[in-house]
């Protein structure tokens, strides 16, 4: 007999950063051979044991893009269930501190205006972020000039 917990999907906490420059946000395209290959996403990644969310995002931005960023305001958290796992995506606004962004762990990176994000393929959790982002950018600015 299986225990009730054996049917539970693994759960991960994942961070994402909205890194702004001249009113545009930096996005990256997932590499071939990865989960959701070819989809665009906001830079970030999985939280490691003992790591707080800000440390996680700072590390992931450095690993994925080769830049330093200041982690700012927590914008929102999104729950999502995939076939084999569940995630909580924690999204923060970020300020680019130094370095030139490079596609170190992705196929491609791109600076995109918020109103253009919805025309690109994004995973469902990121789509919720885009909805919130376009809603906010039509109202008061959220660190868009950083």
pLDDT tens digits for 29-45? 988 877 777 899 999 99
Gap between the Cα atoms of 64 and 19, Å rounded: 13
pLDDT tens digits for 2-15? 444 546 899 999 99
Enumerate the domain spans of the chain.
10-137
Specify the pairing of strand 44-46 against strand 11-21: antiparallel
Gap between the Cα atoms of 26 and 41, Å rounded: 9
The whole model's pTM is what? 0.84
Query: In terms of CATH architecture, what is 10-137?
Result: Alpha-Beta Complex (3.90)
């Amino acid at each position: 007999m299986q225990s009730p917990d054996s049917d539970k999907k693994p759960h991960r906490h994942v961070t994402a950063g909205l890194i702004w420059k001249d009113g545009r946000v930096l996005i990256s395209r997932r590499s071939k051979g990865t989960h959701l290959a070819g989809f665009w996403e906001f830079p970030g990644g999985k939280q490691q044991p003992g790591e707080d969310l800000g440390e996680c995002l700072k590390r992931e931005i450095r690993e994925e893009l080769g830049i330093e960023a200041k982690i700012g305001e927590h914008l929102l958290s999104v729950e999502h269930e995939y076939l084999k796992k569940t995630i909580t995506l924690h999204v923060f606004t970020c300020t680019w501190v130094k370095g030139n962004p490079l596609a170190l762990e992705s196929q491609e990176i791109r600076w995109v205006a918020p109103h253009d994000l919805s025309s690109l393929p994004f995973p469902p959790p990121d789509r919720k972020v885009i909805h919130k982002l376009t809603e906010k950018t039509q109202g008061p600015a959220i660190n868009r000039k950083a």
